[in-house]
Every structure is written in structure tokens, then in C-alpha cells.
């Protein structure tokens, strides 16, 4: 019963490097989300998807790109990492409705 799985769990990058965070869900959910969590700020929506092949911008999309080529996977890319992107990133899914229900355990990303 995996639910939402995020890889990697930890990563340290240098400024300017690129990387991709992977999110996989096994619940056949249509909706998937990427959030970032920063101290004292709650969660902020980066991008979301309402189904395979669709993506849309959230509250803080700048510096990130996403893809949803398969229904079960939602990828978050950082093309040129910046220290301001140091954060904990959470992927979430829901069967519908626009509100996240199931979260992964997070990816802790540090940009030096």
C-alpha cells in the first residue's frame, strides 16, 4: 500500500545545477500537485495536474517545470537551481475536487 512515493528523499545541489523530482501514486488519482514547504509559511502550490498530459501553474511556479506523461507520475524539474529553492517539496494526489488528500513523505532539497 504505497500511496504517494517521492524520490529522492534528500538532495544537495549547487547553484545552477538541474534536477528532477519524481512523484508516483498507485491510487489511480486524476489530480496531482507539487507543493513547497518553508518554515512559518505553510505549503504553497507550485504546479498541479488534473489528468495525464495536463499541467497548470499554482501560486509559486517560477523556476520550476512539470510534466505528467503518465497518469501515475508527476515530475518536478528545476532547470537552474537557486538558493531560494532550498525547501521541502511535497507531492500530493486526490481523486478529484482540487484539494490534496494524500501526500508523499517529502524531498528535502538544499541548494548551495
Partner 1 sequence: AQSVTQLGSHVSVSEGALVLLRCNYSSSVPPYLFWYVQYPNQGLQLLLKYTTGATLVKGINGFEAEFKKSETSFHLTKPSAHMSDAAEYFCAAGNTGGFKTIFGAGTRLFVKA
**Which residues would be at the binding site for partner 1 (CB under 8 A)?**
4, 33, 40-45, 48, 56, 58-59, 90, 92, 98-106
Smallest distance from partner 1 to CB 98, Å = 4
Q: Which is nearer to partner 1, 64 or 90 (CB)?
A: 90
**Look-up of cell digits 532547470:** 79
Smallest distance from partner 1 to CB 91, Å = 8
34 CB burial (10 A radius; 0-12, 13-18, 19+): buried
Q: Which is nearer to partner 1, 41 or 69 (CB)?
A: 41
Q: Which is nearer to partner 1, 58 or 63 (CB)?
A: 58
Q: How far from chain centre, in Å, is Cα 82? A: 16
CB 7 within 8 A of CB 19: no
Q: Which is nearer to partner 1, 17 or 103 (CB)?
A: 103
Smallest distance from partner 1 to CB 56, Å = 7
Amino acid at each position: 500500500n504505497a500511496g504517494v512515493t517521492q524520490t529522492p528523499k534528500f538532495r544537495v545541489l549547487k547553484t545552477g545545477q538541474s534536477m528532477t523530482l519524481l512523484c508516483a501514486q498507485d491510487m489511480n488519482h486524476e489530480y496531482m500537485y507539487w507543493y513547497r514547504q518553508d518554515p512559518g509559511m505553510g505549503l504553497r502550490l507550485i504546479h498541479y495536474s488534473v489528468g495525464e498530459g495536463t499541467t497548470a501553474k499554482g501560486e509559486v511556479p517560477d523556476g520550476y517545470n512539470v510534466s505528467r506523461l503518465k497518469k501515475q507520475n508527476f515530475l518536478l524539474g528545476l532547470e537552474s537551481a537557486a538558493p531560494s529553492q532550498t525547501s521541502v517539496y511535497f507531492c500530493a494526489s486526490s481523486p478529484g475536487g482540487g484539494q490534496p488528500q494524500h501526500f508523499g513523505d517529502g524531498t528535502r532539497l538544499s541548494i548551495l
